[in-house]
Structure 1
Amino acid sequence: MAAHYEFAETWELPLSPEDARDVLVDLERYPQWWPQVRAVAKLGEDDALLVCRSALPYDLEIVLHAVSRDLPTLEVGIGGDLDGFARWTLTRAPGGSRMVFEQEVVVDGLLGLASLALRPVLAWNHRQMMLGCRQGLVAAVGAA
């Protein structure tokens, strides 16, 4: 059984698109600023394994493959516990950037079956993950 998820967020943040991009494409440093990213292992020039845990007590292991690192669109393919993609579109806005995040993933097998029953809880868990991203991103760019 497979479960399909789509997530989208739009943020207006006091960061330049270039500064936001520089932090977002540097996967190996994610654990330094994004609390829900627990570990990163570089697998190759364009690939990394991330271990993520948000509010719920389980780890997701996802493999990211860089598709685009150029503004305005940053995109990765996602494999591992999830299959799909995540995309950021970064454009200038008054006072900084408009950041549009889109993610579409499929969860297969037993995890997919279990996730169907827990869909509202998993959506909340994802929102907590993205809140950590938003707060950490602003702090990381401010510290740079």
Structure 2
Amino acid sequence: MRRAHYRFEHSWLVDAGADAVLALLEDVGGYGRWWPGVRATGSRAAPGAREAALVVRAPLGYRIRFALREAGRTADELRATMSGDLAGSCSWRVRPEAGGTRVHFEQEVEAKAPLLRLASLLLHRALAAQHALVMRRAARGMRRALADSRSSGNRGMVAGWLTASSSGTHPGRPTAHSSRSASAPSSSRQSPPASPAPRSSTPSSTGPTSPGCTST
């Protein structure tokens, strides 16, 4: 049934390095954290054999369930096979470009779920349009996730410097106290031991205190 066959291509630009984009895409079990409408119900993160069971909610409300399995990786491309309500393959390619990284997604699948195959007979174009909306969500979510990751890294660096500044220290710079301590000569003359205090026969007027407690 040719109307149950779909081929998609989508492309967008993100303000991030290619390595950061690939790291985000390799974590297939984490797609639901940044891709609206996508939820992972199980995943395995073994390098070279990553896979995840995903549920995708289309804007119209219907859900598509499938398994995504890693099928190959190069320096700029990730490939995966799909099985379930949709069967086929997809790939992500990244390419450095002025202003960031170009992300290119391709997918070629066949609808396998009976209701989806039936709907494809009458609503092929409408279902393809739903897929385009899902990928727009992906582009927005990816940009937001990469921006948040970059901001978190910057905040961590700033917090480290603020902490060092408030304590009067900086990485790699000795403190004035440590410098004086190192340069001050130690005295070889010792004070004579103090004479023991005479024992008083008058009992103390305060009761005993327990360790770690403060009497009021």
TM-score (norm 2): 0.62
Q: CA deviation at 1:24?
A: 1.0
Query: Alpha carbons of 1:43 and 1:117: their partners in 2 closer, same or farther (altered >3 Å)?
Result: farther
The answer as to 2:34 corresponding to 1:30 is no
Number of equivalences: 144
Does residue 135 (structure 1) correspond to residue 136 (structure 2)? The answer is no
* Secondary structure of 1:118 counterpart: helix
In structure 1, distance between residues paired with 2:51 and 2:101: 27
Q: Which residue of 1 aligns with 2:105?
A: 101
Cα deviation code 1:14-36 (max 9, x no counterpart): 12111111111112221111111
Counterpart in the other structure of 2:42: 41
Could you say if the C-alpha distance between residues 104 and 121 of structure 1 is closer, same or farther in structure 2, counting changes exceeding 3 Å? same
**Aligned match of 1:120 in 122, 125, 135?**
125
Task: Tell me what 1:65 maps to.
Answer: 69
- 2:170 paired residue number: none
**Paired position in structure 1 for 2:8:** 7
8 Å Cα contact 2:51-2:69 kept in structure 1: yes
Q: Quick one: higher RCO (CA 8 Å, sep 6+), 1 or 2?
A: 1
Distance 1:142 1:69, change over 3 A: farther
Could you say if the C-alpha distance between residues 10 and 60 of structure 1 is closer, same or farther in structure 2, counting changes exceeding 3 Å?
Answer: same
Contact 1:21 1:71 in 2 (8 A): no
Shift of 1:44: 6.7
| Structure number having the greater strand percentage | 1
Considering only CA atoms, is the larger Rg found in Structure 1 or Structure 2?
2
Cα offset, 1:70, TM superposition: 3.6
Aligned residue in 2 for 1:82? 86
Q: Spell out structure 1 runs of 4+ moving beyond 6 A.
A: none
More moved, 134-143 vs 1-10: 1-10
**Separation in structure 2 between the aligned mates of residue 70 and residue 54 of structure 1, nearest angstrom:** 30
Q: Deviations over 1:11-58 (max 9, x none)?
A: 122121111111111122211111110333115732210011020221
The answer for unaligned runs of 5 or more in structure 2 is: 150-216
Native 8 Å contact 1:51 1:59 kept in 2: yes
